Structures are given as structure tokens and as C-alpha cells.
Amino acid sequence: MKKQLLKEERKRARKNSNKFRLRVISGILLIPLVFGLYVYRLHRDQTPQTLLRRAEKLVDKGAYRRAVSQLRSIYEHYPDTDKAPQALLLAGDILLLNLQKEQEALLSYLLVERDYPETPWGQAARQRGAEIYKYRLQDYGRALVAYQKILDSKSSDSEKTQYEIADTYFRMNNFEQTRIEFESLLNDYPETKLFPEALYRIGSVFFLEGKHSDAMTVLQKLCHDYPDDAFALEGYFSLAQIHEERGELSKALQVLKGLQGRYAKESILEQRIAQILHRMKKKNRAI
């Protein structure tokens, strides 16, 4: 009886020992799996999408510099993903709009344009860079180069780019080229909504050059074709000024009175009418 009990006890001990060894082996085999899962989760937390969301949260908190640093790290560590140009573009926007750092913003935009030229982000960066040159830095030469690149790329908003080129030449006081560029806008995009403004700008440039007859021809076309447009109303005001400079006071007065009740700058209009009436009285007294 004792021998039988001893035999069964040894049998149970061997069975328990085998179960223990199996648990140990299973545990050892699970270590790489658990470690791999940990690495995967760690990597998942560092993906470009996650980093981008973190940067956006930093922006919401007003931590702009930290957000820019986070965004630049996406470009540095994941340059081949579509999040890299998106991150660089956003970094430039933060630098420009929130931190007022035009030069640093420009650097971000130039990197996007250089490394991702054919992407939507590259096109947007090129546009933003041109605007910085023109409106922030007043570097009109570089602005023209940038706008010309946009125009050559056949972007969907090429008529607006053509307008920006013309306006840039105006800011450079190159009136002849201004007219050429605005005329190109009218010829290339005859259906553009910018037509009335382009006509007004051409007429105004002629006026600034002292070419009053040419100015009147363009402004009269503007007022005839777009009589209720805001630029046409300004065109009428300019026509009155041309008549006045020519000494045609009655014509100037007639044009200005036709603007009453229509011209937004009512006080200025009434002041001009009063000045012309005063000149007419002085002229009559002199006669």
C-alpha cells in the first residue's frame, strides 16, 4: 500500500514539473511578442499623423514655438511622407501669422517649394512666398519672379496671378509695364470678374502719365460697360477730375452730380462739387 502511494505521488510530481516547464517555455516565447507589441505602440505614438495632431494641439494652447519645432521634426524624420510638406507649410503659417517671423516663414515655404514642387502644398507654399515678398518685405523683384513661376505652372488661379504681376509693376512705378500686364489680363481672361478693376487701373495709369485722352477712352468704356460697378463709379470720379484739369468745369460738375446718391464717399463727392462750383463762380466774376 505504501509503495503504491509513493508511486502515485512521484507520478503527480513529474506531471506538475512538466506543467511548470511548459509555463516557463510559454512565458519565454511570449517575451518577444510582448516586446514587439510595446515597440509597435511606441512607434505608433510617433507616427507623422500623431505628431501633426500634437502640433495642432500646441497651436490651440498658444505654444507656437513648440508647435513649429514639432512640425519641423516631421519633415526631418519623415521626409518621404505626405505629412512632411503639410507640416512644413503649417509651420510657415504659424511663423507668419502667429509669430510675425516673415523670414523664417519664408524659409519654410521655400523648403516645401524646393522639395515638394508638384504637390498641392508646394503650390500653396509658392503662393505664400510670393505674397511675403510683395506685401511683407516689399521685395518686388523677387515677388515678380515668384508670381511668374506660379503663372508658368498653369495654376487654376492664373488670372489672379496675372493681376498680382500687374499690381506689382504698379508698386514699382513702372506704369508702362503695368498697363501691358493689365491688358494681358483682359486679353487672356475676357470672362474674368476682374475686368472692371483692370479697366479702371489702366485708365488710372494713363491719367498718372498725363495721357488724359487715353485715360478718358478707357474710363468711358468702363463706365459704359459696367455702369453700376464700384470701379465704374470711381471711373466717373476720375473722369470728372480729368474734365476739371482741362478746365471743363461744367462737364466735371455734370459727371459729379450724376454720382449723387450712388457714390459711397458722399462727403468727398459733395466737397468736390462745392470746389468746382466755387471755381465756376470765380471764373464768372473774372469775366
Whether residue 216 lies inside any domain: the answer is no
Whether residue 111 lies inside any domain: the answer is yes
Dihedral sign for Cα atoms in the order 56, 62, 64, 69: negative
Whether residue 92 lies inside any domain: the answer is yes
CATH of the domain at 107: 1.25.40.10
Contacts of 1 (CB under 8 A, 6+ apart): none
Identify the domain containing residue 73 by its residue range.
61-137
The yes-or-no verdict on residue 45 having pLDDT over 50 is no
The yes-or-no verdict on residue 19 having pLDDT over 60 is no
Whether residue 104 lies inside any domain: the answer is yes
Contact between residue 132 and residue 146 where contact means Cβ atoms under 8 Å apart: no
| Number of separate domains in the chain | 1
Whether residue 143 lies inside any domain: the answer is no
Cα atoms in the 13 Å half-sphere on the side-chain side of 168: 25
pLDDT digits (tens, 9 = 90+) for 239-268: 999 999 999 999 999 999 999 999 999 999
Whether residue 263 lies inside any domain: the answer is no
At 5 the pLDDT is 44
pLDDT digits (tens, 9 = 90+) for 142-184: 999 999 999 998 777 899 999 999 999 999 999 999 999 999 9
Contact between residue 223 and residue 239 where contact means Cβ atoms under 8 Å apart: yes
CA distance 115 to 146: 16
The yes-or-no verdict on residue 191 having pLDDT over 70 is yes
Whether residue 207 lies inside any domain: the answer is no
Whether residue 69 lies inside any domain: the answer is yes
At 121 the pLDDT is 95
